[in-house]
Amino acid sequence: MKYSIAIYGGPYSHQATHSAWHFTRAVLKRGHTIERVFFYHDGVYNASALTAPPQDEQNLPLKWQQLAEDNDFELTVCIAAAVRRGILDENEAQRYSKPAANLEQGYQLSGLGQLVDAGLTSDRLISFGP
């Protein structure tokens, strides 16, 4: 079965990211595939390269990056929600005359159409968050 995941909560302000990561790992262990993980609302904070949790806490954005790399699925971030919250790739940083980009490697900015596409092309679209 092919799954896509939507995450609406931030990595350290809501349980959504942690729960979604565990769910995704369980789905993969059962032999299913992940098409895409879509980060929306405060979930876009998972894509920040500037996240620096204390050493005794999990680095959830990095864990997502590794899981996606190991299992070949997309980490897609809503561009409108990301820019509004200061998460920028090189193109958006230049477009808005900002001094730097901070989108973590392995994540890509895209529109809400990617969330709609995930719902249409996957067998299941599972949402996590408020």
Catalytically annotated residues: 78
Q: Look at residues 72, 73, 50 and name the one whose alpha carbon lies nearest to residue 61.
A: 50
Tell me how far apart the alpha carbons of residues 56 and 50 are, in angstroms, rounded to a whole number: 17
Do the Cβ atoms of 31 and 39 come closer than 8 Å?
A: no
One-letter amino acid for residue 2 of the chain: K
